[in-house]
Structure 1
Amino acid sequence: MVTIPEKATEIVNKIIAQSNEHISRTIFVVGSKSAGKSTLISNFLEKNEAPRETLVLEYSLGRKSGQKQGLEKIICHVWEYGGKLELLKNVLTSVPLHRISYFIVMLDLSKIKTIWNTIETCVNSLKQYVEKSTSQDLILIGGKYDLFNNYDSEIKKIICTTLRCVALINNAHLIFYSSKEPQLMRRVKEMLHNAAFGNGIVIKEKNVNFIKPLAIPKEFDSWESIGIPKSTMDQVKMRHLTKIPLEVEVKEIASSELQRSHPEPILDSLAALKYEDIRNMESFDPSINDYLMCL
């Protein structure tokens, strides 16, 4: 005889099996450190707790009732990657993606010399996933617009031109926002809400003028509107770097002292030797160094 719990389980499994794929979506967020990824996700999902720093990979879940009555809910799986961008490709292979997925690259507009590296690393890692399906979109979000707006108009024009070119080449949406400006936060939050629970990306207030915050849906822009000849990513890169060179990264000395100490000095010495052995291993992963320095 079938029990009530068993019958309930059977009904739920049947509903799930018959559910439309459109009730489950994925949003994957990556980009510059401290660009506002966690804050944006927290506002989008209306979390009450203050966002904390993302060390590697964070998972959140959003739900909304669908149009049908009963158990069906639209579910949005939100992943945020906060580790080294060079290791992004390895992380993506372990993240379960749904047929409808959105890949967000967040850029820190206040640090103009780091923008190109973030673009190049993230877009190259994500484009293989975006190109294989018409149901997967790439979104470029420029964060900290309140600080970017203080730059010289010529600098802003260069950055905006570069981002428009990258978005056009990669068939991506482009939008600027700031957690300090309610109107911009509302606009991005509405865009994400519609992507997660509605009919996809919708950007109502469009703008291509660099004097104001950019808001450009994919396929809306054109080379004629940008004002430069049709270009490749390499050409855009060369043009960008001649005007805004990359930031010179200051690497830490490998033998730098650890940020902790034991009661006995001998333990510090032994720990330093052991950590140095790990760093010198052939299979050394760069992220291990960050981990050790945090111990």
Structure 2
Amino acid sequence: MLSIPEIASQIVNKALSETNDDSSRTVFVAGSKSVGKSTLLHSFLEKNEAPRETLVLEYSFGRKSVNKQSIDKSICHVWEYGGKLDVLKNTLTSVPVRGKYYCCVMVDLSKIKNIWNILETCIGAVKETYDGTGIEPELIIIGGKYDVFKNYDNEIKKIICTTMRSVSLATNSHLIFYSSKEPQLVKRARDMFYNIGFGAGFHAKEKNTNFAKPLVIPKGSDSWESIGVPQSSMDMIKARHLSRIAPEAEVTGDVTTARPKLTHPEPVLDALASAKYDELRSMESFDFSIGDYLKALD
């Protein structure tokens, strides 16, 4: 039995059969919960409706004419993941890739104790999924909620920016800070998505490595000397970071399985979704892919 992401992929693949890789881009976004992924993507895709919570995986796309005289259009396929990060790898394997591929890891800068876990889990899932496959996604690390982070103590900001820059350099990733509440940063992030979706790729008019301001660092433009730390592996960066910022304590004990939150505008749809959820839970033949889906919902 196919999982919901696999069914979605089949539908999208059918629609994509009329396009080619030369005129396509694929963007996948994952990361911290409630950091503003949907808000940023809605801004990029010029959607007017208010974003709602992304439970597991959502697909959208944008089109742009190649030139004024041509009816040919380039298309950017956008995937947003909102499920549990420990099953992110299983979702990545179901996403069809068309053209240049960008994986964006969005980190909540306001929750400093969770930053390392988000970076390590998401980047690790991308590397594990695509190493040796011939698919080479370009990584972009986005630090969200900068409006909160900028008011933190300077020493904390310096530690976090050192970690973010180190991870970006070690993984050959782009790095950009963002806030939905600061128009300049909204425009910068929207322009970045436009460039990766329809332009020549990640582009920054102004580079910034000063921790007192929002970071903007294209891959290949930073150095260990500039960061002020010795050349480091991910394990070395992790040890240095966790020695200064202790991770959030894990919650232990019994975990009660919860149904998905009500997200539909009509109550009847919520009732149907709840019934289907219970049906999947009670199936005698419990498919592993369904288990992954329900795990991501919880």
TM-score after normalising by structure 2:
0.80
Corresponding residue number in structure 2 for 1:77? 77
Query: Larger relative contact order (C-alpha < 8 A, sep ≥ 6)?
Result: 2
In structure 2, distance between residues paired with 1:74 and 1:172: 25
Shift of 1:290: 6.9
Corresponding residue number in structure 2 for 1:145? 146
Q: 1:208 to 1:130 in 2, by over 3 A?
A: farther
Which structure 2 residues correspond to residues 110-125 of structure 1 after superposition, within 5 A? Answer: 110-125=110-125
Whether 1:288 and 2:289 are equivalent positions in the alignment is no
Corresponding residue number in structure 2 for 1:47? 47
In structure 1, distance between residues paired with 2:225 and 2:260: 54
Shift of 1:205: 1.4
What is the identity, as a one-letter code, of the residue corresponding to 1:215? V
Whether 1:99 and 2:99 are equivalent positions in the alignment is yes
Q: 1:187 to 1:276 in 2, by over 3 A?
A: closer
Which stretch of the first structure deviates more once superposed, 90-99 or 232-241? 90-99
Which structure 2 residues correspond to residues 162-173 of structure 1 after superposition, within 5 A? Answer: 162-173=163-174
Corresponding residue number in structure 1 for 2:109? 109
In structure 1, distance between residues paired with 2:258 and 2:158: 43
TM-score after normalising by structure 1:
0.80
In structure 2, distance between residues paired with 1:101 and 1:141: 16
Q: 1:288 to 1:206 in 2, by over 3 A?
A: same
3-state SS of paired residue (1:113)? helix
In structure 1, distance between residues paired with 2:287 and 2:212: 50
Corresponding residue number in structure 2 for 1:4? none
Corresponding residue number in structure 2 for 1:158? 159
In structure 1, distance between residues paired with 2:68 and 2:55: 38
3-state SS of paired residue (1:110)? coil
In structure 2, distance between residues paired with 1:256 and 1:191: 39
Shift of 1:94: 0.6
Unaligned runs of 5+ in 1: 1-15, 261-273
Corresponding residue number in structure 1 for 2:243? 242
Percent identical across equivalent pairs?
A: 57
Q: 1:131 to 1:153 in 2, by over 3 A?
A: farther
Shift of 1:132: 6.3
Residue deviations 1:103-159 (CA, integer Å, cap 9, x gap): 100000000000000000000111353886696310000000000011100000000
What is the identity, as a one-letter code, of the residue corresponding to 1:74? S
In structure 2, distance between residues paired with 1:36 and 1:238: 28
In structure 1, distance between residues paired with 2:83 and 2:258: 22
In structure 2, distance between residues paired with 1:33 and 1:165: 23
Q: How many residues align?
A: 263
In structure 1, distance between residues paired with 2:176 and 2:260: 39
3-state SS of paired residue (1:63)? strand
Corresponding residue number in structure 2 for 1:226? 227
Does the CA contact (< 8 Å) of 2:83 and 2:296 recur in 1? Answer: no
